[in-house]
Amino acid sequence: MDLHLSDETIAIRDMVRDFSKKEIEPIASKVDKDDFFPKEIFKKMGHLGILGLTVSEEYGGAGLDYLTHGVVLEEISYFSGSIGLSYGAHSNLVVDNLFRNANKNQREEYLPDLISGDKIGSLCLTEPSGGSDALGSMKTTYRKEGDNFIINGSKTFITNAPVADTFLVYSKNYDRYSAFILKRSDGVETPKWIEKMGMRGSPTGEVYFNELKIPLNRLLKNEGDGKKIIYEGLNAERAVLAFGPLGIARRALDEAIEYSQQREQFGTKIGNFQLIQEKLAYMFSKLEAVRLLAYEAAMMTKERIVDPSYAASSIMLASETATQIAKDALQIFGGYGYTSDFPLERLLRDAILYEIGAGTTEIRKIVIAKAVQKRNTR
């Protein structure tokens, strides 16, 4: 398996890096401090052509692979973890999901506006009484009445919900789970913007459906296909989102290296101290090892290789590694790292989310263990 990036992916990576440095870096601190969502950034991303990377050109996408998608997420997350998270939720959890599962009419109606950035997407699965047991504890229900579906229930911890226009919603009817496309104009209520420790500026909220009526053509695939849609999308979700913490970790390492070459103590640069060198050596080695796993998992997803252990391992190790690297970088900065004058404390707060969101570290370990046991059963 060739883990080198193609010339096309490298060109896109460099383009997004330049864009992020120009458009995202100047507002990253404000986004975090004010919990501010820069909606215009999504329109600029749409013009750049990165909101539908894995969607075919027929619907306005780029027709590229999950590795390219992940590389783009890493570059955005390097400059702002929160904007990267909202980008990943929009472009992968919603846009890529719709492309894989929607019919032709649904694709033609919803994908263009999402890919252009004119509309923001949000996937709604987690519920107040749920969490890791998303399906078993699901209480959002639907029923069919004539030419309509009626949906009742609520979701929580939903990324992009407060600003979204298009919602991909999972609901159940007795023991059947189904997926629906909803519009804010249908009567979707998002009354609460949830305050968070990190990933501030990536809007997280509650979503309510009260006798919400939608036509039958808003159903994704067939009734009862919801569980299949969720599980088939998990590999792509984990493989792509693993690049978010990669970007955060890389930024923390770069900040630590630069600081160690500037800060002086006891008459010398602190980068000359062996304990600092040890930290930097481990930080670099862990980051590059996780990057190789992330590349492999993304390539396997591209080839539709059905083995959840690689994608789950990728995001598990990437998230844990990002937290540790951000913590070590903050330690190298000492007291300055604990202040808001430098981005280290923001990087640490942002990194921690990836150990909780998109499936906790504990759930990922279960997925990995079951997959490797199944694969090695004799």
Adjacent-strand bridge partners of 208: 154, 189
Q: How many CA atoms lie within 13 A of 138 on its CB side?
A: 24
Where on the phi/psi map is residue 4: left (φ > 0), alpha (ψ -120 to 50), or beta? beta
Q: In the predicted model, is pLDDT for residue 378 greater than 60?
A: no
CA distances from 203 to 165, 254, 338, 344, 365 (A): 13, 27, 25, 21, 28
> What is the mean predicted confidence (pLDDT) over 278-283?
97
* Residue in 237, 296, 320, 355 annotated catalytic: 237
What letter would DSSP give residue 376? T
Tell me: the pLDDT tens digits for 313-344?
999 999 999 999 999 999 999 999 999 999 99
Share of the chain above pLDDT 90, in %: 85
C-alpha closest to that of 242 among 289, 283, 293 = 293
Q: In the predicted model, is pLDDT for residue 60 greater than 70?
A: yes
177 falls in which pLDDT band (50, 70, 90)?
very high
Q: In the predicted model, is pLDDT for residue 103 greater than 90?
A: yes
pLDDT of 305 reads 65
pLDDT of 304 reads 64
237 falls in which pLDDT band (50, 70, 90)?
very high
Q: In the predicted model, is pLDDT for residue 251 greater than 60?
A: yes
CA distances from 160 to 144, 234, 339 (A): 28, 19, 28
> What is the mean predicted confidence (pLDDT) over 53-64?
95
Give the H/E segment covering residue 150.
strand 148-159
Instruction: Judge contact between 68 and 80, C-beta under 8 A.
Output: no
61 falls in which pLDDT band (50, 70, 90)?
very high
Compute the mean pLDDT over every residue in the chain, rounded to the nearest whole number: 94
358 falls in which pLDDT band (50, 70, 90)?
confident
Is 189 marked active-site? no
Q: In the predicted model, is pLDDT for residue 35 greater than 80?
A: yes
Q: In the predicted model, is pLDDT for residue 377 greater than 70?
A: no
Q: In the predicted model, is pLDDT for residue 303 greater than 70?
A: no
345 falls in which pLDDT band (50, 70, 90)?
very high
C-alpha closest to that of 354 among 115, 79, 96, 159 = 159
Query: Around Cβ 114, how many Cβ atoms within 10 Å?
Result: 26
